[in-house]
Amino acid sequence: MKNYLLTEEQIIALFNAAAEHYELYVPVNSENGQVFCWEKTARLDKMVPSNIQPTASIKKFFFPNSEPMFGFKKEKQEIELYQAAASVPRLVLGVHSCDLGSIKVLEALFKDTVDDELFREKRQNTVLVGISCSAKDWACFCSQLEINSRFSQDGDLFITPREEKYILSVTSAKGEDYVNKYLENGETVAGFTPANDLGEEETFTLDFPKIKEVMDSGFELPVWEKFARKCINCGICTFLCPTCHCFDVFDEARRERGARFRCYDSCMFPEFTRMAGGYNPRSAKAARLRQRYLHKYKYFVDNFNLIACSGCGRCIRHCPVNVDVRQNLNILQHSGSEGEDD
């Protein structure tokens, strides 16, 4: 892995150099200072901060809230299908390790299981620039998932602030191409050892193999009912989660033209599993919450050997009724074989 020691001016120049060819996205805070998101900018004028985790996750760049899959038009008796707009090259700055780590989960489905053209094109067209996280907040638990908030090789480039300068690590072939094209007079550094926050003292420890064991032990555990009591099925946790990927498909048409769209759906919505004949296997709130937990911490492990959670904490931070997945997992791991609290 090649590492460069760059000044802030050099870093800014590196990303502005490609502004003609790439859409540039940076994390910004909204006017009231409460909501953080990535926004398109024409030019970078200062280095992005390293303590911002945008409210919306990185998945919006590969799997947006709503997107056209293809268009259609009818002429006489013929139906013609045409491609949705092609994606443009993008460079996303300031991505934290939790979001970089979550992309593996989406890839297991949209790349390795099916070749999803919409996802693939956007993923290929996007350069991801990670940044070392300088301030975890009360809801973060990425290190419990063995994600190092200070460094990641899951993107294309990674920035680590070092005193008044920055270490730029090249973490993929795409990142290397970018640097070869746009970096001028970069000084490489030898022997850079990235910081590591794994093993730092945590106030709690989640034992994911143990949690899965309890989940494996039975489907009808009493804890699901208890966990579901507070939930109001708003779906915020699933929409903001970087690994949740359920979607619905619908057609919008006017006269002879239209498009097929896909948009986020949520397993927390009561109608999510309602079938055409009216039967709903998850009509109870507890059944829906159980599905979300089993999908993340059991089914995905069974199917892909991956936990579908990166510990980003968004579902905790933004739940309107304070459902905390960590507390629930902690109860699960300490529950007996019948899923009862010890």
Please give the structure tokens belonging to residue 195.
Answer: 């910081």
Q: Which stretch in 5-13, 128-136, 217-225, 315-323 sits in contact with ligand SF4 by CB under 6 A?
A: 315-323
In whole angstroms, give the CA distance from residue 161 to residue 170.
Answer: 15
Spatial separation of the C-alpha atoms in residues 305 and 175, rounded to whole Å: 27
Q: With CB under 6 A as the contact rule, which of the stretches 29-37, 179-187, 218-226, 316-324 interacts with ligand SF4?
A: 316-324
Establish if 101 lies at the interface with ligand SF4 (CB under 6 A). no
Q: At closest approach, how far in Å is the CB of 240 from ligand SF4? A: 6
Interface with ligand SF4 includes 27 (CB under 6 A)? Answer: no
Q: Which of 29, 233, 330, 333 binds ligand SF4 (CB under 6 A)?
A: 233
Residue 215 near ligand SF4 by CB under 6 A: no
Q: Does 312 bind ligand SF4 (CB under 6 A)?
A: yes
Is residue 329 within the footprint of ligand SF4 (CB under 6 A)? no
Looking at 16-24, 165-173, 176-184, 311-319, which segment touches ligand SF4 (CB under 6 A)? 311-319
Tokens 């000084």 correspond to what residue? 187
- Where in 249-288 is the site for ligand SF4 (CB under 6 A)? 268
Amino acid code (one letter) for 231: C
Q: Is 235 among the residues that bind ligand SF4 (CB under 6 A)?
A: yes
The minimum distance between CB 137 and ligand SF4, in angstroms, equals: 12
Q: Which among 158-166, 180-188, 206-214, 232-240 is the span making contact with ligand SF4, rule CB under 6 A? A: 232-240
Q: Are 197 and 135 in contact (CB under 8 A)?
A: no
10 Å Cβ neighbour count for 195?
12
Query: Is residue 311 part of the contact set for ligand SF4 (CB under 6 A)?
Result: yes
Q: b/e string for 59-82 if b means 16 or more Cβ within 10 A?
A: bbbbbeeebebebeeeeeeeeeee
The Cα–Cα gap between 205 and 266 comes to 28
- Residue from 129, 170, 237, 332 touching ligand SF4 (CB under 6 A): that is 237
End-to-end CA separation in angstroms for the chain: 48
User: Which of 58, 168, 241, 301 forms a contact with ligand SF4 (CB under 6 A)?
Assistant: 241
Q: What is the DSSP string of 175-218?
A: HHHHHHHH--SPEE-SS------TTS--S----HHHHHHHHHH-
Query: What are the C-alpha distances in Å from 95 to residues 42, 116, 215, 260, 288?
Result: 18, 23, 32, 31, 31
Rounded Cα distance, 206 and 197, in Å: 16
Identify which of residues 7 and 65 has a Cβ nearer to ligand SF4 in the complex. Answer: 65
Question: Could you tell me which residues come within 8 angstroms of residue 182 by beta carbon, excluding any fewer than 6 positions away?
Answer: 14, 17, 18
- 321 near ligand SF4 (CB under 6 A): yes
Which window, 192-200, 246-254, 275-283, 310-318, contacts ligand SF4 (CB under 6 A)? 310-318
Q: Per rule CB under 6 A, is residue 152 in the interface with ligand SF4?
A: no
Binding residues (CB under 6 A) for ligand SF4: these are: 102, 231-237, 240-243, 268, 296, 309-315, 319-321, 323, 325
